[in-house]
Amino acid sequence: MSYETVIGLEVHVELSTASKIFCSCETTFGGEPNTHCCPVCTGLPGALPVLNEQVVDYAIRTCLATHCAITPLTRFDRKNYFYPDLPKAYQISQLHKPIGRNGHLEIETAEGLKKIGIHEIHMEEDAGKLIHDPWEDCTLVDYNRCGVPLLEIVSEPDLRSAEEALIYLEKLRSILQFLGVSDCRMEQGSLRADVNVSVRPVGSQTFGTRTEMKNMNSFKAIGRAIVAEAKRQIDLIEDGKTIKQETRRWDENKDSSFAMRSKEDAMDYRYFPDPDLVAINITPDWIERVRSGLAELPESRRARYIADWQLSEYEAGVLTTHPAIANLFEETATLSGRPKDAASWMLGEFMQAAKEQECEPQDLHMPAQSLATLIARVAEGVVNRNTAKKIFTQILENKVDPDAYIEQNGLRMVSNPDALKDKIAEIIAANPQSIVDYKAGKTKAMGFLVGQVMRAMQGKADPQLLNELLKDALDRA
Amino acid sequence: MSQTQHPDLGNLDQQGHLTLDPILVKKVARLARLSPNEQELDSLSHELGKILEHFQNIEALETDNVEPTYHPQDLLDSVRPDQVQPSYDQSVFMELTPKHKDGCLMVPRTFE
Amino acid sequence: MDIYTLSALELGHKIAGREISAPEATQAMLDRITATDQTVKAYLTVVPEQALAQAALIQQRLDNGEQLMPLAGVPMAIKDNISTKGLRTTCGSKMLWDYVPPYNATAADRLLAGGAVLLGKTNLDEFAMGNTTETSYGGITTNPWASDRVPGGSSGGSAAAVAAGEAVYALGSDTGGSIRQPASYCGVTGLKPTYGAVSRFGLVAYGSSLDQIGPLAKTAADCGAILAQIAGPDSKDSTAMPAGRNLDTTALLKSIEPGQSVKGLKIGIPAEYFGEGLQPEVRTAVEAAAAQLAELGATVEPCHLPLVEEGIATYYLIATAEASANLARYDGIQYGFRPTGQAYEDLADFYAQARTEGFGPEVRRRIMLGTFALSSGYYDAYYLKALKVRKLLQQGYREALSRFDLLIGPVAPTTAPKIGTTLSDPLQGYLADIYTVAANLTGLPGLSLPCGFDQIGLPIGVQLIGRAFDEATLVRTGVTYQEATGYHRQSPAL
């Protein structure tokens, strides 16, 4: 029998506000343990929450971008459970009146466009961090992350494969990043996903029993976990066994998941409206204010790059994977007036550098002004492309100013034919075999000699002129 | 009040008062992270039963079309601007907690 | 003249006029505490050195001509569920017996900033859950009028301290009657403000949608002056912020001036407040108080209020549900009581041990009740039902107060019961809150005034309920009544 995998995703993103959701402590990642804390976020007796307005703004942005219906009177509920990372023993979250419902995202799959339903979006507070201490055989608690604002974006079970799940996640991440509501750094835990997986025979209209998987810390792990879980469930069915509804923990090292110890009292969270907070009235005016300030989303930017700047689908697609890339590209293209060149630098050197340094694009030092200058200098013939690449690296690593660097290091391209002719004569004289090879039709010899001259001139030769003059010299030799 | 009205809560005792099902009392105690001993369980069954029996006087009230009240006043829109204020010193939290290490609170092992 | 017999405004006036110095007043109160608190046991913590140092500082500020509140230099006490920075705040619980808050409650902060002298922290029912002050881990407080009687609760320590002259005034908190009822039992004046009039920041939560901090003092005028100092918007409490409605402190301060009148006020006297179980002497005294107000120029008319009895179930379901979450944080991990040297099976077992040992029986009972009311399968029938009845109750009171400026009735069905007689039957104890819980469920302000004594000399209180944020009318009526009567001037022989 052939099976279909049914997947739903619960994505948690930490919002990029300056302060926490219910108090004024900073949200910065890391820091010495328990140094971004106050009575409110650590739940000391008598402390009370007051909602950060920016969290609502960010949530409205996200609802608008995912076509959710916004709840006019949204409120918070307490979700009760005991765990050491939750100092109040309840999480302030939303159950009864979440801010957004019934939205969708369109993803591009191999079979074409597909609409993935968003069941709801709600605001909540993050919990603290637990660290296992093997020496004392105990757990250490750091409350810094307690109260960092989160959005939970719950999809409908509309995804049918690991590939679709990853396309959805990438799309969602890029939207959240372009909206400026989250930096979505999985390695810092600012984007996390729980995955619900079930399988059913192809053609079946009812859902199979689902399991929930936690603890995946990369998109790659999510993809592998889905494939492994679907296989596990199919194997169980084929063996005539039943699937248990449970929460499973993904073990990246073992490439498999295992059931988390089930709690006897099957999680009765006893949600009820938090009496310490009041309803938030999201007026049409408020929504319009947010809508008018909404950042341009990747799809629209991509279309614009293709129409206005004649970029290819592929180029425009890559440039709109992250707002830092798109912003740098657009600024550079405008400043230099050479969008094609700007795209070429971004897709080549810039992406390469981000990959090598394994960092987020916004962490690279590359001011648009510097890159635009570099592009202009190449176009003007002041430096050649190879020299420009070296300067690019210098900008990244040492934050140099390109013009100053060119002057200080005498990198201006040599376009004086006389200076070149002398060097060419020298090199030809030193490499008689190459002339023989050239005459015998071996074009490789030409390349070799260009390289030799270029090296002798510290790479500063005007490559076009060099080619012309060398060819001339060889033909005459 | 007849027994059949509240089959989900428990039984009537000899005086005709509601006694909560001990299984229900145990379930609630576990949710609340309390561990009453046998004697306390028994008295809780009786006391809570008697209290809930009395509280059934609100059951008969017609509330189908009544909106629940969350606050004495219909309050709206209490929000604050997204501004960072200094946090408390780490030592404040270390002084409060019974055991700590490296700036963290020390608690029973949670990892499986 | 003994300093401890003065009202807060009288003493404040004498301190401002340099008749009495703040340290002198503080020393007098400390002496009184030494003399009588062995019997009354109103305090859990007394801080003589700190109080004297504070008094000296305030005297200096007054001498420098600084503008402080009218009650500057007046020694007072704070209920031990209101956070005081650097001073242990136990909530009368083993769980928080050594807990020292790192911050001040807003209400405490405003009094201290205005020049109040803090004598110490007063006893209460554990986590304010009770109406006798017998459930405190710190022991029983006795009624200054009869040492075999309870002072009421949960602010029993605050009420007893004021009645015994061990504090000129005190802060209490009121979730279902916890200011008004002990005020009535101890023969002092107590005011529960409108929900949202005083910031709850720093008040250790019991029932968050019901809790309010308020004053207990010798006179209604004192209560008005104290409320004017602690009320007002607070950016730290979402339910007391500038966006919402706030108290008109100008009107409030005007209402404490002498020469007030109740002429033209319409007062409703609900028949349902005089039902079964009301002690005859209480009925007589309350009716006499209504007659007195009529004589002073108010119109007093009978009226009806719905759901007075049902208010008890409504209140206990909501309060305990909220409490079950509010008290979940006490688990022996972050602060407070942690059992030592005992083995535990797992984390759940660790929590259960800490909580079963750290909480007293009444707190555990209410946590159980509230957990039940919110649990899966019972939420709709209990918690949600209570929220809906609360709406009906609010509508009923709103309707009555559209016709009347005030409602009048008893505070409690009886005078102070004997120590040890209430706890054996929890339900009977809950039923005694019948006349006080409505003000909390509706958020309306309530004032408790001494209005007489029963046959054995125990004080009786009368309750006035006003419109939301109209404490000025309540206080004005109290001031007028107290100008015409002398019950509030009586003090117990200690």
**Contact residues on chain A for C239, CB-CB shorter than 8 A:** 275-276, 278
Q: How confident is the model at residue B13 (pLDDT cuts 50, 70, 90)?
A: confident
Give the mean pLDDT of chain B. Answer: 89
Distance (Å, whole) CA A223 – CA A193: 11
User: Looking at the domain assignment, is residue C348 inside a domain?
Assistant: no
pLDDT (0 to 100) of residue C355: 96
List residues bridging with C43 in a β-sheet: C122
pLDDT (0 to 100) of residue B3: 36
**Contact residues on chain A for C91, CB-CB shorter than 8 A:** 45
Q: Is the peptide bond before C93 cis (omega within 30 degrees of 0)?
A: no
Which among C309, C355, C441 has CB closest to B34?
C355
3-state class of A134 per DSSP?
Answer: coil
> Does the annotation mark C79 as catalytic?
yes
What percent of chain C is modeled with pLDDT above 70? Answer: 99
Query: Per mean pLDDT, which of A136-140, A318-322, C171-175 is the most reliable?
Result: C171-175
- The DSSP code sequence of C113-144 is HTT-EEEEEE--SGGG--SSS-S-TT-PPPBT
Q: How many beta carbons lie within 10 A of that of residue A416, not counting itself?
A: 12
pLDDT (0 to 100) of residue C244: 67
Q: Is the pLDDT of residue C391 over 50?
A: yes
Closest CA to A271 of C451, C366, C104, C376: C376
Put simply, whether B64 touches A (Cβ < 8 Å) is no
Please state the rounded mean pLDDT for residues C67-89: 97
Which among A36, A138, A270 has CB closest to B108?
A138
Please state the rounded mean pLDDT for residues C3-32: 98
| Cβ(A165)–Cβ(A121) below 8 Å | no
Closest CA to C415 of C465, C455, C447, C464: C455
Touching C: A residues 370-409, CB under 8 Å: none
In angstroms, what CA-CA distances link A365 with A23, A362, A373, C35, C354? Answer: 33, 8, 15, 75, 53
Closest-CA distance of chain B to residue A254, Å? 16
Give the mean pLDDT of chain C. Answer: 96
What percent of chain A is modeled with pLDDT above 90? Answer: 71
Binary contact (B111, A139; C-beta < 8 A): yes
Put simply, whether C383 touches B (Cβ < 8 Å) is no
pLDDT (0 to 100) of residue A384: 84
Closest CA to B9 of B60, B43, B34, B46: B46
For A394-450, the pLDDT digits (tens) are 999 999 999 999 888 878 877 777 878 888 888 888 888 888 888 887 778 888 888
Residue-level length of chain C: 494
Which among A52, A268, A277 has CB closest to B31?
A268
Q: How many beta carbons lie within 10 A of that of residue C46, not counting itself?
A: 19
Q: Is the pLDDT of residue C297 over 80?
A: yes
Residues A217, A218, A224: CA angle, nearest 5 degrees? 105
Q: How confident is the model at residue A347 (pLDDT cuts 50, 70, 90)?
A: very high
Q: Is the pLDDT of residue A263 over 60?
A: no
Question: How do beta strands C75-79 and C117-122 pair?
Answer: parallel
Task: Calculate the dihedral angle through the C-alpha atoms of A401, A404, A405, A406, rounding to the nearest 10 degrees.
Answer: 130
Q: How confident is the model at residue B6 (pLDDT cuts 50, 70, 90)?
A: low
Q: How many CB pairs under 8 A join A and C?
A: 95
Q: What is the domain extent for residue C165?
A: 3-267+403-489
Helix or strand run (H / E) with residue A207: none
List residues bridging with C464 in a β-sheet: C408, C447
Q: Is the pLDDT of residue B2 over 50?
A: no
Three-class SS of chain B: CCHHHCCCCEEECCCCCEEECHHHHHHHHHHCCCCCCHHHHHHHHHHHHHHHHHHHHHCCCCCCCCCCCCCCCCCECCEECCCCCCCCCHHHHHHHCCCEECCEEEECCCCC
**Contact residues on chain A for C208, CB-CB shorter than 8 A:** 275-276
Where residue C18 sits, what CATH number does that domain have? 3.90.1300.10
Tokens (6 digits) for C115: 């020049």
Closest CA to C54 of C25, C92, C93, C90: C25
Tokens (6 digits) for C321: 């549900």
**Contact residues on chain B for A132, CB-CB shorter than 8 A:** 109-111
Q: Which amino acid is at C408?
A: I
Put simply, whether C424 touches B (Cβ < 8 Å) is no
User: Looking at the domain assignment, is residue C494 inside a domain?
Assistant: no
Q: Is the pLDDT of residue A178 over 60?
A: yes
pLDDT (0 to 100) of residue A423: 83
pLDDT (0 to 100) of residue A261: 67
3-state class of A247 per DSSP?
Answer: strand
> Does the annotation mark C154 as catalytic?
yes
Binary contact (B27, A260; C-beta < 8 A): no
Task: Encode burial over C254-277: b for 16+ CB neighbours within 10 A, e otherwise.
Answer: ebbeeebebeebebbbbebbbeee
Which among C100, C239, C347 has CB closest to B71?
C239
pLDDT (0 to 100) of residue B11: 86
3-state class of C327 per DSSP?
Answer: coil
Distance (Å, whole) CA A356 – CA A350: 10
Place of tokens 């090292």: A253
What percent of chain B is modeled with pLDDT above 90? Answer: 69
pLDDT (0 to 100) of residue C258: 86
Comparing A381 with C319, which gets the higher pLDDT?
C319
pLDDT (0 to 100) of residue B108: 87
User: Looking at the domain assignment, is residue C154 inside a domain?
Assistant: yes
Which among A19, A133, A275 has CB closest to B84?
A19
Put simply, whether B98 touches A (Cβ < 8 Å) is no
Binary contact (C83, A84; C-beta < 8 A): no
Q: What is the DSSP letter of C41?
A: -
Q: How many CB pairs under 8 A join A and B?
A: 129
Of C7, C83, C154, C158, the active-site residue reads C154
3-state class of C348 per DSSP?
Answer: helix
Q: C38: buried, middle or exposed (CB in 10 Å: 19+, 13-18, 0-12)?
A: exposed
List residues bridging with C414 in a β-sheet: none
What percent of chain C is modeled with pLDDT above 90? Answer: 94
Give the mean pLDDT of chain A. Answer: 92
For C471-492, the pLDDT digits (tens) are 999 999 999 999 999 999 999 9
Q: Is the pLDDT of residue B1 over 50?
A: no
Closest CA to B18 of B28, B6, B26, B27: B6
Q: What domains can be seen in chain A, in order of their start residue?
A: 3-286 (no CATH), 305-408 (no CATH), 417-476 (1.10.10.410)
User: Looking at the domain assignment, is residue C347 inside a domain?
Assistant: no
Interface test with B, best of A34, A52, A141 (most B CBs within 10 A): A34
Closest-CA distance of chain A to residue C494, Å? 35
Of C7, C14, C21, C79, the active-site residue reads C79
Task: Encode burial over B84-102: b for 16+ CB neighbours within 10 A, e otherwise.
Answer: beebbebebbbebbbebee
Q: C340: buried, middle or exposed (CB in 10 Å: 19+, 13-18, 0-12)?
A: exposed
Q: Which amino acid is at C261?
A: S
Least confident of A128-142, B69-83, B94-108, C68-82: B69-83
Touching B: C residues 329-348, CB under 8 Å: 331-335, 338, 344, 346-348
What percent of chain A is modeled with pLDDT above 70? Answer: 99
Put simply, whether C331 touches A (Cβ < 8 Å) is yes
| Cβ(C192)–Cβ(C439) below 8 Å | yes
Q: Is the pLDDT of residue A264 over 60?
A: no
Instruction: Specify the number of domains making up chain C.
Output: 1
ipTM of predicted complex: 0.96
Q: Is the pLDDT of residue C409 over 80?
A: yes
Closest alpha carbon within chain C to A43: C329
**Contact residues on chain A for B94, CB-CB shorter than 8 A:** 34
Question: How do beta strands A138-142 and A149-155 pair?
Answer: unpaired
List residues bridging with C254 in a β-sheet: none
Of C21, C136, C158, C178, the active-site residue reads C178
Q: Is the pLDDT of residue B7 over 60?
A: no
Which among A44, A270, A276 has CB closest to C375?
A270
Touching C: B residues 30-59, CB under 8 Å: 30-36, 40, 44, 47-48, 50-52, 54-59
Q: How many beta carbons lie within 10 A of that of residue B68, not counting itself?
A: 16
Put simply, whether C192 touches B (Cβ < 8 Å) is no
Q: How many beta carbons lie within 10 A of that of residue C432, not counting itself?
A: 20
Binary contact (C374, A80; C-beta < 8 A): yes
Q: How confident is the model at residue C12 (pLDDT cuts 50, 70, 90)?
A: very high
Put simply, whether B106 touches A (Cβ < 8 Å) is yes
Put simply, whether B29 touches C (Cβ < 8 Å) is yes
Angle between helices B38-55 and C310-326 (to 10 degrees): 140
3-state class of C456 per DSSP?
Answer: coil
User: Looking at the domain assignment, is residue C468 inside a domain?
Assistant: yes
Q: Is the pLDDT of residue A171 over 70?
A: yes
